[in-house]
Amino acid sequence: MRFISMVLLYCASLSAHAAPHYAYLNPPGKYLVGFQLVKQYDYSRSSQGASARAMQTLVWYPAKHGGKRMTYADYLGTAFTRRDFSVSDAQVAQKTAQLINQPGKALTPAQRQAEADSPVWASRDAKPATGKFPLLIYAPGANGPAHENAELCEYLASQGYVVIASPSVDGQGRVMNTNLDGAEAQAADIAYLIGYAHSLPQVDVGHIAVAGFSWGGLANVLAAAKDQRIRALVSLDGSMRGFPEYINGGKDAAKYVTPERVNVPLLYLSARPRTIEQLEGSYDVSFSFINAMKYSDVYYYILHPMAHTNFSTSQIRFSGDDDFEEYSREEIVQAHNWASRYVLEFLNAYLKDDSKSREFLAARPVRNGVPPHMITADIRMKSAATPAQ
């Protein structure tokens, strides 16, 4: 009954608003979704001349009841305190309104306002559900806000996961530099968030995964190479392919990153592939870390409608209808929802040891109900035992 009432509440609220540009097509799990915005500092690192690094932390969690219902505007507002905690609530509201009303080519201010007003699943400061739940750390793309895939985080929280994210900023708390220093700064943020999670009574710290979009899908590889608490990796078209020079063992690479050290299961969800002509001269294809992961179970799925930016729901929401090339917005939204489903099944398989989820991952996508031609799979089970280290 809880699912039904939640879905009916969501549908009823939509009737009073313009339809949002992102639709929740997957049904929620058995939990309501709580949300908290935590402003804390990592005192082990300095930043911008300060004695500590600001660590804005967004937490989604399985909830019982209560809390304040949220709209997408609440997520937009978090972007204005990601580096500066002195910004007041009134200033956040003002800056959010300015963001919504600024002129732009993709959407009109009225369309952006409708997007901001759209309801989301989370309720702020809702009462946590009883029990222990696996942890997922979410690492955004370069310079991405912590809420860039809020809908995915909500979906997983409704299914019994605690999800924690922080924004993507460089080692000095400024614009992310896409170099090794920047990736290592984000990897250190991941480690900090795992440490913070130990203070949360809901978190089962023995079952931890890290997901990353784009640049975050390189930072999580670096984090896993150093941190044995990480049991699984999820990559949303992650930069472990786009920046192989940082993980290929070469002169510019982080030498501690090897397939032997990153010996955890990987789910890689890829955008539609580029042609050889597009790759030539622009990408180094001489090395694939994924191909080298013989000590890991690797699930590689191509989502053919998806371009790289489509893996971020904030990008989907604020893109124009003409920004999806030969695909419609509806097709992109459907593909993203399927990506979320595959993330859930992967986490269930490896953090909850769910046999049905393993069967789901192993099946041809069309047998799981995926529309024909949307997803193709390349599944590789580990072929060697991890050598003693």
Report yes or no on 6 lying in a domain: yes
Q: Which domain CATH number covers 333?
A: 3.40.50.1820
> For residue 38, what are the domain limits?
2-380
- Give the tens place of pLDDT for each residue, 90-118: 999 999 999 998 877 788 888 999 999 99
**Range in 42-46, 103-107, 237-241 the model is least confident about:** 103-107
Report yes or no on 30 lying in a domain: yes
**pLDDT above 80: residue 172:** no
Percentage of the chain modeled with pLDDT above 70? 91
């995926």: which residue's tokens? 370
Report yes or no on 334 lying in a domain: yes
Identify whether the C-beta of residue 223 lies closer than 8 Å to the C-beta of residue 245: no
**pLDDT above 80: residue 142:** yes
Report yes or no on 387 lying in a domain: no
Give CA–CA dist 57/74, Å, rounded: 14
Report yes or no on 365 lying in a domain: yes
12 pLDDT band (50/70/90 cuts)?
very low
Report yes or no on 149 lying in a domain: yes
Burial bucket for residue 13 (CB in 10 Å: 0-12, 13-18, 19+): middle
Judge if pTM exceeds 0.85. yes
Q: Which residues of 349-369 are buried (b: 16+ CB within 10 A; e: fewer)?
A: bbbeeeeebbebbeeebeeee
Joined tokens for residue 294: 């013989």
Q: Which whole number is the average pLDDT over 40-67?
A: 90
Report yes or no on 386 lying in a domain: no
62 pLDDT band (50/70/90 cuts)?
very high
Per-residue model confidence (pLDDT) at position 4: 42
Q: Which whole number is the average pLDDT over 200-211?
A: 98
Report yes or no on 389 lying in a domain: no
pLDDT greater at residue 47 or residue 187: 187
Give CA–CA dist 224/236, Å, rounded: 16
Q: How many residues does the chain have?
A: 389
For 223-278, give the secondary structure using H, E and C.
Answer: HHHHCCCEEEEEEECCCCCCCHHHCCCCCCCCCCCCCCCCCCCEEEEECCCCCHHH
Total structural domains within the chain: 1
**Range in 82-91, 101-110, 301-310, 327-336 the model is least confident about:** 101-110
